[in-house]
Structure 1
C-alpha cells in the first residue's frame, strides 16, 4: 500500500478533522488534500515523474508538508536536507541524489543558488525567495485537479534521508513505501497513539523523527501544528493553545521546556503521551519530566534513519535511561565490538558486558543499503544484520542500555569507559545544567576522561565537581573525570546529538579557564 493512497483514505474517513496548522493558517483534511493535488499536478506538468528525487531545503513549514504528500502521490522520492548545510554539502547531496528539483526559502536561498548554479535542476522557491524557475504559489495556481497517479509498488523508494554522520560525506538512506508505512505503524503502537491525536511539528522533516510524527498523525487523522522557528516558548505556547496530546522530541527540547523560567505559567494538561529519541536522556531530566509533565505514556525510542526502531522502553519510572526491549518488528543482539568491522552476528557477549548493538534486517522497517555507497553498505550490513556502531549492554532482565557510539568509547589506562555512565552522575549535581564527557589525548593514559559542563550556577568549581564524583556510589574511581572544563554550550547536531568530536577538537567556548586537572 503506497503512502499517497493511504493519505487519501484518511481524507475520505474524516475530511472535516483538522490536519495542519501554522500560525493563523488552518487546514482540514479535505482542504489540505486540495492543496496537495494542485501542487502534485503542477509538478507533474513540469516534468517531475515517478522515481525522480525532489530535494526540499526548508524549515518545518506547511509547504514542506504539502510537498511531501504531493511527491508521494507522484511516486517520486522526497529527499529533504538540512537548510543549514553549506554550499558544498548541498551541491554534494543534489548531485549524489541526481535530483530533478530543489525547493528553497529565503534562509537557504543564497547557498542553494550557489550550490546548483552549474546543475540542471528545477528550482522552486517558497516564501518569496528569489532566483527560481517557478514559485510555490505559481505551482498552486497552475495545478489542475488530481495528478495522474502511476502504479506504485510497496518496495518503490518514497523517501531518502541523508544521515548527518560524524565524519565524511552524508550517506543517502533510501526507504520504501513499505518501510515508511511499517515504521509509522510501529510508532503508533509503541507510543500508544489513538485516532485524532495532535502533535507539534518541531522535529525536522529532514530527520526520521520528524517523518514519524508526520505520518503517524496522518494515518490517525491527527493534527500537526508546525513550528518553523524553534524556541522553548513557541513549544509551550502551542501545546497550551492547540491542546496538544502527544510529542516526540529530542532530550534537548525537553530540557529547554521543563527548565524554562515561564514553564509554570502554561497549562500543559492536554499532553498525555511523550516520547524521546535521538540522544541519551539523563536520569535527572527523566525524573523532571515525570514530575512536571506527569505523562500517562513516556517512551524512550532507540533507532535510526536506516531501520527506524531498534528498541523502546515505556517503563522509565522503573529504569530511567533504559532502551528496553526490541521493537515491535525487531530482534537485536549485543556482540563483540570491533571498529575494523570483523565481528559477526554470532559473536554475542554475555549479559552485563558491553558490546556493539546489531539489529535484524528482516524487519519491514529496515532499509536494504545506502545510496551509491557500496563501501558503507558492506561495513554496516553483514549476514542479514545491521551493525549500528552503537555500544550497549543487556542487563539480567534482557533490557538494553545504550552506552554511546563505538568510537566515543574512552580507553584510559587500558580500561574502557563509556561517556554516558559518567554524564549520568555529574548531571545530578545541583549546579550543573548540562554535561558531556569525552576522552582527550594523554601521554600516560592514552586518553583522560574529560567532563565539559554548562554550569547552572556561576559559583560552580572544579573542586566541588570532583568531590561530588568521588563521593558517588555509582562511579568507579578509574571512571572519574581527571579534567573538568566549564563551557558556554555543549556542541550538538540540529537534532540534539552531542558532537563529541567538536569537544575533542576544542570547538567550544570556555567560560573561564581551569587549567588544573583533578588529582
Structure 2
C-alpha cells in the first residue's frame, strides 16, 4: 500500500493544475501546494526533526495546519494535533507523553502555550504573533525544499490523535499510514465521492472527521475549502461561492446552518452529498436537512478515533438513528453489557456493548503508554468501544449511547437517545439532551434539558411524550429549560455538564411540576 506522502505525490502527478486548497487569501493547485509542502518539510528537517519523531500541532483549521499535516506525511514524521482550546496542563501532558521534538502553534492558543514550561525545552514554531524565542512559520516557507519523494512507508505511524475522554488523561491513538489511507479510501467509496469534489474543511484537523476530509480530497484530486473555525455566515458564503459539493459535519453544525436567517437565501444546490458523524442526529433535524438539501446521498457514519468507520448507512433518511451495517473495513458485534467475552453476543433488539474487530484495515493497534487502557478495551483482538447499541429486526445497527451515559432508573436501563429522538420532534423544541440525575428513590431520574424555539412548558412536553409510543418508564420526570446545551468543540453534547449544573438556564421558564405519575 502507498504511504500518504506518496498518495499526495500521486495527485500532483495525476492532476497538477486541479484546485487543491482554498483558504483565506489563497488558492492553490496541487502543484503549487506541493511546492509549499516540500519547503515546510525541508524547514522542519533543518530544525532537527527525524523520521518517527512527533510534532505537536495546536492550531485552528488554517491552511498552515493542513500544510504541516502533509509535510509530516512526506517526512515520515508523526503529526500529533491537539485541540486549540486545550488548557496548559493538557498541552504539557501531551508534549511529555508524545515526546514531541517541536510544537507548532498559532495565536488562538497563545495564552495556554505561554504557560507551558516545557515549550522552552523544545523547538517552537509560531503562526502569527507567537512568543519570544519561537521560530516563525514564514521561515519554513522559504526553507530549502526536500526532494519530491516520500520518506515514509505504509508501516510508519502517520499521526497520533488524542481522545477527548470524559475522565482521566487523554489517550494517544497512533495510526499508521496504511490505517489512514485505508480509512480515506473507504471514506471515498462509502460517500460515493467523484473526481474533483469540493468539501468544506471545517471539522478540526485534531479530530478524525477533519483528517478524513483532508485525506479523501487528495485521493480524488478534490478541493479542501479551509475554514479556521466554524462561523455559520462564513460557512454559508463558502458553500455558495466555492461550489461545495459535499458536507461532512457533526449534527450541531447542520442545526446551526439551518437555523441561520441567511440559509433560505443561500444557494446550496451544488451540495449533493451529506454525511454526518460524531453524535446521533435527531429525527427532526434529519427531516429538516432532507427537505433543505434534497441530497442524492445522505450518509450516517458511526466510528471512533480508534477504528474510523465502524458502521455506515447511505440512506440515513430511511431510519432515523440507524447506523446501517458494518463498514467496508470492519467487523462488528454487540455483546452483553458487563461482559468482556467477545463471543457473548446478544439477540437482535437487545442492547449491549458494541465491539469491533482489530484485524480491520482501519483499526489501531493500541494506546500509547497506556497498558491499563489496552487491557480494558482490547480483548482477544476485539476493541470494546464503550458504546451501547443493538441490531434491529433487519440486522441494522442503532447506537443508544455510551455505557457511562446509560440511565438506570428503578432497575430499568434507559437510553437517552431514544427519549431525545421523541422529544426532538415536538415543534417547539430546538434541541434536547436527556441525562440521569441522582435520585434517592429511583437511583437516577430521567431529566430532559430542552432548548426551546417556541413557547412550550413541561406539562405540554409531558403530555406530548404520553401521546407517543415512548414507554412510560422512559418518560422524563423533569424538564429543565436551558439557553443553550453545553457542547464539545466538535459539537458533542456534554451530558456530564448538564448533570453538574454547568449550563445557562432559560430564565423565562417556570419551575417544572411533579411529573412522577
TM-score between both structures, scaled by the size of structure 1: 0.97
- Superposed CA deviations along residues 433-454 of structure 1, whole A, max 9, x for unmatched, are 0000000011111000000000
Q: 1:489 aligns with which of 484, 488, 492?
A: 484
Determine whether 1:59 maps to 2:54. Answer: no
Aligned to 1:268: 268
Are 1:445 and 2:442 counterparts?
yes
Q: Kindly indicate whether residue 344 of structure 2 is the aligned counterpart of residue 347 of structure 1.
A: yes
Distance 1:345 1:225 in 2: 42
Secondary structure of the corresponding residue to residue 93 of structure 2? helix
1:323, distance to aligned residue in structure 2 (A): 0.3
Q: Kindly state the Cα deviation for residue 118 of structure 1 after the two structures are TM-superposed.
A: 6.1
- Measured against aligned partners, the alpha-carbon deviations of 1:54-75 in whole angstroms (never above 9, x if no partner) come to 0110000000011111111110
For structure 2, the residue ranges without an aligned partner over 5 or more in a row are none
Q: Which blocks of at least 5 consecutive residues in structure 1 are unaligned?
A: none
Contact 1:381–1:387, Cα closer than 8 Å, also in 2: yes
Residue-by-residue CA offset, 1:217-245 (whole Å, 9 max, x unaligned)? 01111001111131111111101000000
Q: Offset at 1:408?
A: 0.6
* Separation of aligned partners in 2, 1:272 and 1:428: 25
1-structure distance, mates of 2:147, 2:110: 30
For the residue of structure 1 that corresponds to 2:142, the secondary structure is: helix
Q: 1:147 to 1:269 in 2, by over 3 A?
A: closer
C-alpha distance in 2 between matches for 1:382 and 1:440: 32
User: Structure 1: which 4+ aligned runs deviate by more than 6 Å?
Assistant: none
1:23 paired residue number: 24
- Is the CA contact 1:40–1:146 (under 8 Å) kept in the aligned structure 2? no
User: Does the 8 Å contact 1:41/1:148 carry over to 2?
Assistant: no
Determine the structure 2 residue equivalent to 1:113: 114
Q: 8 Å contact 1:124–1:132 — kept in the other structure?
A: no
2:266 paired with 1:231: no
Aligned to 1:464: 460
Tell me the CA shift for residue 296 of structure 1: 0.3
Asked whether the 8 Å contact 1:324–1:400 carries over to 2, the reply is yes
Distance 1:229 1:309, change over 3 A: closer
Q: Secondary structure at the residue paired with 1:248?
A: strand
Q: Work out whether residues 90 and 115 of structure 1, in 8 Å CA contact, stay in contact via their aligned partners in 2.
A: yes
Deviation of the 1:308 alpha carbon = 0.2
Compared with structure 1, are the counterparts of its residues 116 and 70 closer, same or farther at alpha carbon in structure 2 (3 Å cutoff)? farther
Give the drift of 1:269: 0.5
Query: SS at the partner of 2:269?
Result: coil
Once the two structures are superposed, what CA deviation does each residue of 1:89-132 show, in whole Å capped at 9, x if it has no partner?
Answer: 11011111000110111121121132144652110000232324
Q: Distance in 1 between matches of 2:250 and 2:221?
A: 24
Does structure 1 retain, via aligned residues, the 8 Å contact 2:4–2:154?
Answer: no
Are 2:210 and 1:210 aligned? yes
Alpha carbon RMSD of aligned pairs, Å? 1.2
How far apart, CA to CA, are the structure 1 residues paired with 2:235 and 2:136? 30
Cross-structure match for 2:499: 504
For 2:511 and 2:136, the matched residues in 1 are separated by 54
Query: What is the CA distance between 1:149 and its match in structure 2?
Result: 4.8
1:474-508 per-residue CA deviation (whole Å, 9 max, x = no partner) reads x0111000000001111111111111111111111
Kindly indicate whether the alpha-carbon contact (under 8 Å) linking 1:125 and 1:132 is maintained by their aligned counterparts in 2: no
TM-score by length of structure 2 reads: 0.97
The answer to whether the 8 A contact 1:56-1:81 is kept is yes
Classify the secondary structure of the residue corresponding to 1:80. Answer: strand
1:419 to 406, 416, 434: 416
2:9 paired with 1:41? no
Deviations 1:341-377 (A, max 9, x none): x421011001110000001111010000001001001
For 2:15 and 2:37, the matched residues in 1 are separated by 17
User: Do the aligned residues in 1 keep the contact of 2:333 with 2:354 (CA within 8 Å)?
Assistant: yes
1:117-156 to 2 correspondences below 5 Å: 117=118, 120-146=121-147, 149-150=150-151, 152-156=152-156
Are 1:393 and 2:390 counterparts? yes
